Amino acid sequence: MSDERNPGLQVRTTRFALAIIRLCSALPAGLPGQVLGRQVLRSGTSVGAQYREARRAKSVADFVSKIEGALQEIEETGYWLELLAESGLISPAVAAPLLAEANELTAMLVASAKTAKKKKR
């Protein structure tokens, strides 16, 4: 169960996707901003979609596979955020909370996958 003080993965992945959308809307219009923006937009919004698919999984193996897909997307998002910050397209102050949330979501997704794998045995 979750509440407003401790939202669950579905709420947090949605909030993360919305933050990524807002970030991409504010990126510079040049080619680097467009290319990196598309990359981070795709991966950052895909995390929540993958998680929602996992919640509808037909088996534990399917659940784990979809959670691992979400993990790949959140890792990729972190990479693009780092590139955006290190290239100067966004400030480190803008990147920091997004990277922190990406790390927390990673930990939550890893924990979900581990729990599911234990149940599978």
Q: Which of 2-16, 21-35, 61-75 is the least confident region? A: 2-16
Percentage of residues in the chain with pLDDT exceeding 70? Answer: 93
pLDDT score for 121: 64
Looking at residues 63-68, what average pLDDT do you find? 95
Whether 32 is covered by a domain: the verdict is yes
Whether 1 is covered by a domain: the verdict is no
Whether 78 is covered by a domain: the verdict is yes
pLDDT score for 11: 95
Cβ pair 95, 85 in contact under 8 A: yes
Whether 107 is covered by a domain: the verdict is yes
Residue type, 23: L
Tally Cβ neighbours within 10 Å of residue 9: 22
pLDDT score of 25 more than 80: yes
Whether 19 is covered by a domain: the verdict is yes
Could you tell me the residue range of the domain that residue 30 belongs to? 9-120
CATH of the domain at 30: 1.20.1440.60
| DSSP secondary structure of 25-38 | HTS-SSHHHHHHHH
Q: How many domains does the chain have?
A: 1
Angle of CA points 116, 16, 103, to nearest 5° = 60
pTM, rounded to two decimals: 0.90
pLDDT score of 109 more than 60: yes
